[in-house]
Structure 1
Amino acid sequence: MRRLTMRRLTLRERDAIPIGTDDGLSEAEAAAFARLQPSLPAGSVNWQHRAIRFGPFCGVLRAGNVTVELLPKIEDGQDSNEGARGLLVAMLRITGNLIVSNAGESTLGQQQLHLLDQFILDFCSRVRTMLRGGAIARYQDHKENLNALRGRLILTNHLLRNSFDRSHLFCSFDERTIDNPHNRALKAVLSALRSSAVSVQTRATVTTLLHHFDNVALYPVTPRDIARLIFDRMTNRWKPIFERAAWLLQGLFPDVRSGNIDGTCLLFNMERLFEAFLVVKVRQAWRGSQENNFKIVSQGPQKNLARSDSGPAFSLRPDVTLMDDDVVVRIFDAKWKRLDPQAPSFGVSPSDAYQLAVYASRYRCERVALIYPSSITRPPGLVERYRLAIPGAPILEIYAFDIRKLASGGPLPVELHPSVAS
């Protein structure tokens, strides 16, 4: 259970929080994060001398009585908490990780709700939408002594029970009920979300939704219980809801196998999220394109860099590949890093450049590109164009994306539209 006194901190990804200072964590609070760490994604929390530094993850972390809301760090001059929260929520919506539309609607800058509440309201919205088609129901066999015939008469039992009572009939009948394992799991998850909500309004929203399950028994449930639920033709449409429920439940109670962990972990890897964001924007740019022989491949097509006697080795999977039939035309790789105009090669990691050179060679692609978020020191657009010193002399381009503009519905920059021409 959550403690009554909760400290709520809002930080940026990769920020550090000191230990043992008035504006940081106490020793006891730091110890709570240490207990939670085995259940966290690798690289999300890093220990430094008298400090904890967070990795490239955004979302909600809670250890003991400290809740940390981690927001994206863009440094584009619009770095208010509301703006950063709105940007993250927009990216999550675009990539399908959030669907709720009333959690701080209107503009990116108006996102006032804590991220945890946004996740909770998103789940409520998904469940509410599914309930419009009816709750999951099952028919259960009942046998009961009734004063009117229902179903079929069980003669043997009727004679035993009612030989001197002509006002009753012992019947067997099927009764439709929503009190089943699926709805018990949903009720348990919603109850957990209500107790975890930050705002009174969010708790009220969950409470209202819970009334749909008034006739459902409340039992404790774990992510394993949800994984064991059986779906059929009638319930398959609910499967994504239960996958989301398991994610939320696992985040609220990270790993019971590790002992008495009092924490929450609902995090998104920003590197993976940026990759997914890029894929969606490229697909949107070419939806309905007249050049319909183009296809867009995410995380592929898979090739291998080498072979040995034992088989292929060193798998390659570009983030986004644009193909004209079987010919690779462009390759984009997303990098959730900050470009530095003062650094050699704008701070582009040599390993990232090597990776794109390998892609260009192995996929026989004439144009490859690294895509970065823009910032106040590196405006959006083409940053640099290199001619790679490898056979065929393919082009490596470095671009900066205005993530905020794209997340607000802006189009993909023209320079990044797939094109056969180089």
Structure 2
Amino acid sequence: MTSVISVREYARLTTEHVAKPSLDHAQIPASAFDWLCNLSSTFSRSGAALVQIEGRRWLRLDNYVGVIETPCGTKLEILPKHVDGGDILEASRKLLQRMIAASLNLPARIAGEASLRLFDAPLSEWIMERFLIALDQLIKRGIRSDYVRIEAQERYLRGRLDLVRQVRQPAGRQHILQIEHDILVPDRPENRLLKTALEIVAKHVQLPNNWRLAQNLRILLQEIPSSVDISADFKRWTKDRLMAHYQPILPWCELILYRQMPLSLVGQWRGISMLFPMERLFERYVAASLNMVLAPDAKLVTQAASQSLCSHDGGTMFQLRPDLLIERGSQRWLLDAKWKRINQNEKSSNYRISQSDFYQMFAYGKKYLQGAGELALIYPRHAGFSNPLPVFSFDNDLRLWALPFDLDSGSLLLASGSTLPLCYL
């Protein structure tokens, strides 16, 4: 039987009894503990850190959020750590749901607060529920079919006569016609992927309403085969006008079939496991939120890559990739989102800001802004960082702001001297 254990990033896990379980300390079965240790060694070989092993009895999670399902049936739900103190399970879960929805560019009505309040299931169940609802709506609008050419032998002419095959007929079979004709079938890449995702969801849903909806949808798609090459079928996913009603379900389908974003859990066990690097998720959440409040004549570019740190031997070295680049006419602003907790009351400790972040922003400013303009480091807002810090001046022409981003409202708190082209009401 599957058991769900909810924790948050950087939580400590143990096989021993925990007197007061919380989001920061939890007990897991020994089999799940051993499996996570083996999984961590696989991640380490690829340069990622899933957990940190503290002796033989404790594991400390890193900054990944999402869901990991172990072969023994333990489902570990890892939530963001955005506030200190208290077991704020539902607040953390809803925040993660909003961030995922914004990162996948989903409609506002799906990511809205009202929808989230109505569904308080663990993260993986929420994702599967959203997929089932999107698939149900798609089927009601109509599954797209495609023409497939088949070869057949008939006693009557249908479609086109294949003369080459016909003249090779034995003498006693001249009355049998070798023909080719097209039939309209729903066997196309998009439908095969949906069928494959539905089969996975149907095996893992826990809530009765979701289970019933999954079984009903399986009946409707029973004539469609499953995908045998998921990557190839995704590449063939059509995005033309006739397939516009398929686009809302595409991110959910990718999330379920790829199981995580962007990491892969390798090995033979393939439960519902989805991992999100919190730094990347925060960056996408900020980008999606700012894109909604940009001035009409401004444009937001993510992961710009037009500049490098230096030139060497006829080429360039060390490409510079700022998280966010805002362009408005000839003006530019560079922003970097950091999932770190700084403190406005600790000036003596440089507000806990990393010196390397300043070096990075200085390089961005020199290369992308030609040494004149505004830069901004964006950090999550919390009790210790509720207002923008005073401006940091590299020189008279290049300035850097440290701005708080409100995770609940999805809004960036601007400093009074900033010229960022954002239109908050």
Return the TM-score normalized by structure 1.
0.77
> What SS is found at the alignment partner of 1:305?
strand
Corresponding position of 1:188 = 196
Partner of 1:357: 362
Q: Find the counterpart in structure 1 of residue 10 from structure 2.
A: 14
CA contact (8 A) 2:189 2:227 kept: no
Check 1:98–1:51 CA distance in 2 against 1; reply closer, same or farther (3 A cut). farther
- Superposed, which structure 2 residues align to 1:411-422 within 5 Å? 411-415=411-415, 419=419
Match for residue 123 of structure 1? 131
- The answer as to whether partners of 1:137 and 1:178 remain within 8 angstroms in 2 is yes
- Partner residue, 1:112: 120
Structure 2 Cα separation of the partners of residues 420 and 102 of structure 1:
29
| 1:46 pairs with one of 27, 52, 64 | 52
Whole-angstrom distance in 1 between the partners of 2:335 and 2:352: 18
Q: Tell me how far apart the structure 2 counterparts of residues 28 and 103 of structure 1 sit (CA, whole Å).
A: 36
Deviation (angstroms), 1:201: 1.8
Cα distance per residue 1:302-330 (max 9 Å; x no partner) = 322222225222222222223343343x3
Match for 1:13: what amino acid? Answer: E
Q: CA deviation at 1:112?
A: 0.3
Sort the Cα spacing of 1:109 and 1:401 in 2 relative to 1 into closer, same or farther, 3 A. Answer: farther
Name 1:371's counterpart in structure 2.
Answer: 378
Please tell me whether residue 26 in structure 1 is matched to residue 29 in structure 2: yes
Q: What's 1:210 paired with?
A: 218
Residue pairs, 1:291-306, within 5 angstroms: 292=297, 294-300=298-304, 302-306=306-310
C-alpha distance in 2, partners of 1:226/1:172? 26
Contact 1:104 1:112 in 2 (8 A): no
- Distance in 2 separating the partners of 1:370 and 1:129: 41
Distance in 2 between residues matched to 1:105 and 1:420, nearest whole Å: 27
Give 1:63's aligned amino acid.
T
| 2:201 counterpart SS class | helix
| Match in the other structure for 1:136 | 145
Q: Is the contact made by 1:58 and 1:269 (CA closer than 8 Å) also made in structure 2? A: yes
Q: Is the 8 A contact 2:147 2:184 kept in 1?
A: yes
| CA distance in structure 1 between the aligned counterparts of 2:145 and 2:289, rounded to whole angstroms | 36
Q: Is the 8 A contact 1:188 1:221 kept in 2?
A: no
Offset at 1:175? 3.1
Superposed CA RMSD: 4.0
314-323 or 268-277: which moved more?
314-323
Q: Is the 8 A contact 2:106 2:248 kept in 1?
A: no
- Residues 76, 285 of structure 1: alpha-carbon distance in 2 compared, 3 angstrom cutoff: farther
2:23 aligns with none
SS of corresponding position for 1:70: strand
The answer to whether 1:278 aligns with 2:282 is no
Mean alpha-carbon deviation: is it higher for 260-269 or for 173-182?
Answer: 173-182
Deviation for aligned residue 1:177: 2.2
Matched residue, 2:22: none
Q: Within the alignment, does 1:345 sit opposite 2:354 as a pair?
A: no
- State the match for 1:381 in structure 2: 387
CA distance in 2, matches of 1:322, 1:246: 29
Output the CA distance in 1 between the equivalents of 2:286 and 2:77: 24
Contact 1:100 1:121 in 2 (8 A): no
Contact (CA 8 Å) 1:61, 1:67: kept in 2 or not? yes
Q: Is the 8 A contact 1:333 1:371 kept in 2?
A: yes
Letter in structure 2 aligned against 1:320: L
Q: Which moved more, 1:62-71 or 1:207-216?
A: 207-216
1:325 lines up with 2:312 in the alignment: no
| Partner in structure 1 of residue 21 of structure 2 | none
Residue 357 of structure 1 aligns to which amino acid in structure 2? F
Matched-pair identity in %: 24
Q: Provide the residue aligned with 1:88 in structure 2.
A: 96
CA–CA separation in structure 2 for the residues paired with 1:317 and 1:372: 18
Shift of the 212–138 alpha-carbon distance from structure 1 to 2, 3 Å rule, reads farther
Aligned residue pairs total: 397
The correspondence of residues 189-268 of structure 1 with structure 2, limited to 5 A, is 189-217=197-225, 219=226, 221=228, 223-224=230-231, 226=233, 245-251=253-259, 259-268=267-276
Partner of residue 65, structure 2 = 58
CA distance in 1, matches of 2:110, 2:240: 31
SS in structure 1 of the partner of residue 340 of structure 2: coil
3-state SS of the aligned residue for 1:351? helix
Q: Cα deviations across residues 342-361 of structure 1 (Å, max 9, x unaligned)?
A: 54122111211222233333
CA distance in 2, matches of 1:172, 1:298: 50
Contact 1:296 1:322 in 2 (8 A): yes
**Residue 415 of structure 1: SS of its match in structure 2?**
coil
Contact 1:142-1:173 within 8 A present in 2 as well: yes
Matched, 1:36 2:36: no
Residue 153 and residue 336 in structure 1: after superposition, are their counterparts in 2 closer, same or farther (change >3 A)?
Answer: closer
